């Protein structure tokens, strides 16, 4: 390793050098997370433009549904990615796992940028698109567990919630970046016809270039002291067999994630389609509303993370569960009925006030459940599996209900899933006060 490893919270000092080194590590790790999520969300941001090129239909809802199905299908690879990159992270180090995952994302994004359309190569076009998204799903499945582990391990105990919240700052920041690129192309550089014809390829090419840059940065990323110490004391792990020694923790990750991930993908990925097709806003209004609400969500993450460092993780999770169960149906109902962009913006921001109770701290809560030698695997695999079932399918389920004339059924579905997670939040221990961060087994 070229750099000194970061000290664990139990042994840390408060010198300027230590703080500077920790911030540098978090910034580099977070930058990679942002680029990966930018690449992933560019698909959603530009789906309104490229869906007709790959899934031509007379009905725009059907085009978007097909695009959403491909989006959901890529989540099937995320559990495999969670295992593969979790194994690498627990066996060979967090840095290597983070570097390889971002290179995979680069490859998938580059494929989308150069894939011919349905008009050129027929059915092969959506097949290649799906293949590229599978690669991106594999990459992203590994990125979550490795980055959640890394950010939690480099943080000091008193500020672990605050520092780890930057995973979702950069995760949402990736989507914001995709929307900024969309706005620039819409408003400054291209006409709508040019965007639909070929301009949608530009963001994927940008993403591939940024991923290469971040991969170079991550090569010099500092390894965490927690991993270094665990490697000295116990045999490197990363095995599924050893992971099954923690059945309670695995089930907790599933329960923690289900409602939160369904809400997150509803108010990020699906919202752009919802306000365009159901609310009836123009493309420009849709982009502006989604951009503003995501900016608001980004600001909330470190605030909530810092709050969790003072009062614990459990109160924020319960707040999300209660508010999400009670407020989801009214918010989505009012959102569909309004035709005013500003009201739509306020309603989505209202949802983020409780959704951030989950997003801001879910990474650190999961990391605090597992000992160091299986942490990346323990966080990544059950999370990726749950996201595949409840998160990635949310847009497709919502659009399916819309196509059969029962769009409001999705509102009840989402509220119900959040309620199931609330049961877990109410009965689990607060990981801030019962953390396994410095356990090696």
- The 3 state secondary structure assigned to 251-283 is HHHHHHHHHHHHHHHHHHHHHHHHHHHCCCCCH
How much of the chain is in helix, strand and coil states, percent to nearest 5?
A: 80, 0, 20
Which residue is listed with tokens 């605050």? 162
Predicted pLDDT at 7? 43
Q: Is the pLDDT of residue 279 over 80?
A: no
Which of 265, 239, 274 lies closest to 381 in space, CA to CA?
A: 239
Predicted pLDDT at 407? 85
Q: Is the pLDDT of residue 36 over 70?
A: yes
- Lowest average pLDDT, out of 123-132, 138-147, 184-193, 307-316, goes to 138-147
Q: Is the pLDDT of residue 6 over 50?
A: no
Predicted pLDDT at 4? 41
Confidence category of residue 237, pLDDT binned at 50, 70, 90: low
List, in sequence order, the alpha helices (H) in 46-191: 47-54, 60-74, 78-91, 94-114, 118-121, 124-154, 160-164, 166-184
Predicted pLDDT at 10? 41
Q: Domain ranges in the chain? A: 9-427
- Lowest average pLDDT, out of 86-90, 165-169, 349-353, 432-436, goes to 432-436
Q: What is the mean pLDDT of residues 242-271?
A: 88
Q: What is the mean pLDDT of residues 349-371?
A: 90
Predicted pLDDT at 186? 82
Q: What is the mean pLDDT of residues 75-97?
A: 80
Mean pLDDT across the chain = 81
Q: Is the pLDDT of residue 236 over 60?
A: no
Classify 224 as helix, strand or coil. strand
pLDDT tens column, 292-344: 999 999 999 999 999 999 998 999 999 999 999 999 999 999 988 888 889 99
Predicted pLDDT at 332? 92
Q: Is the pLDDT of residue 13 over 60?
A: no
Predicted pLDDT at 415? 94
Predicted pLDDT at 290? 87
Q: What is the mean pLDDT of residues 278-292?
A: 81
Q: What is the mean pLDDT of residues 147-169?
A: 80
Q: What is the mean pLDDT of residues 180-190?
A: 85
Residue with the bigger pLDDT between 189 and 21: it is 189
For residue 224, report the phi and psi dihedrals to the nearest 5 degrees: -80, 145
Predicted pLDDT at 155? 73
Report d(CA 199, CA 46) in Å as an integer: 9
Q: What is the mean pLDDT of residues 393-397?
A: 83
Classify 126 as helix, strand or coil. helix
Do 349 and 290 form a contact (C-beta atoms < 8 A)? Answer: no
Residue with the bigger pLDDT between 131 and 243: it is 131
- Lowest average pLDDT, out of 43-47, 60-64, 275-279, goes to 60-64
Predicted pLDDT at 2? 41
User: Would you tell me which CATH number, out of the four given (3.40.50.300, 1.20.1250.20, 3.90.79.10, 3.40.190.10), belongs to the domain 9-427?
Assistant: 1.20.1250.20
Residues 6+ apart with CB under 8 A from 60: 51, 52, 277
């Amino acid at each position: 390793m070229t750099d000194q490893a970061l000290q664990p919270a139990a042994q840390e000092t408060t010198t300027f050098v230590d703080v500077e080194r920790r911030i540098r590590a978090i910034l580099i790790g977070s930058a990679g997370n942002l680029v990966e999520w930018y690449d992933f969300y560019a698909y959603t941001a530009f789906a309104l433009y490229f869906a007709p090129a790959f899934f031509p239909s007379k009905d725009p809802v059907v085009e978007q549904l097909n695009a959403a199905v491909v989006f959901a299908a890529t989540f099937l690879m995320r559990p495999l990615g969670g295992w593969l990159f979790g194994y690498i992270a627990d066996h060979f180090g967090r840095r290597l796992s983070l570097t390889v995952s971002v290179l995979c994302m680069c490859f998938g994004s580059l494929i989308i940028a150069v894939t011919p359309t349905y008009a050129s190569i027929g059915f092969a076009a959506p097949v290649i698109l799906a293949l590229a998204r599978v690669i991106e799903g594999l990459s992203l499945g590994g990125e979550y567990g490795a980055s959640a582990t890394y950010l939690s391990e480099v943080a000091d105990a008193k500020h672990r919630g605050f520092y780890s919240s930057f995973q979702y700052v950069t995760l949402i920041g990736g989507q914001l970046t995709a929307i900024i690129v969309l706005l620039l192309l819409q408003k400054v550089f291209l006409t709508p016809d040019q965007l639909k014809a070929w301009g949608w390829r530009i963001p994927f090419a940008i993403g591939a270039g940024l991923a290469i840059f971040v991969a170079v940065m991550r090569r010099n990323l500092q390894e965490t002291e927690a991993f270094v110490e665990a490697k000295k004391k116990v045999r490197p792990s990363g095995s599924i067999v050893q992971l099954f020694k923690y059945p309670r923790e695995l089930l907790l990750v599933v329960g923690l994630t289900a409602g939160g991930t369904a809400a997150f993908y509803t108010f990020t990925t699906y919202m752009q389609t919802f306000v365009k097709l159901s609310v009836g806003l123009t493309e420009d209004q849709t982009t502006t509303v989604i951009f503003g609400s995501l900016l608001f969500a980004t600001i909330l993450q470190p605030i909530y993370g810092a709050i969790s460092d003072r009062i614990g993780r459990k109160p924020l999770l319960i707040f999300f569960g209660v508010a999400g169960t009670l407020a989801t149906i009214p918010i989505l109902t009012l959102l569909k009925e309004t035709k005013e962009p500003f009201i739509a913006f306020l309603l989505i921001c209202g949802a983020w006030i409780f959704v951030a109770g989950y997003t801001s701290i879910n990474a650190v809560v999961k990391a605090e459940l597992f000992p160091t030698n299986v942490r990346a695997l323990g966080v990544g695999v059950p999370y990726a599996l749950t996201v595949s079932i409840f998160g990635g399918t949310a847009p497709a389920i919502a659009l399916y209900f819309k196509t059969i004339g029962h769009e409001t059924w999705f509102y009840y579905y989402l509220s119900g899933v959040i309620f199931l997670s609330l049961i877990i939040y109410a009965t689990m221990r607060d990981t801030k006060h019962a953390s396994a961060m410095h356990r090696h087994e």
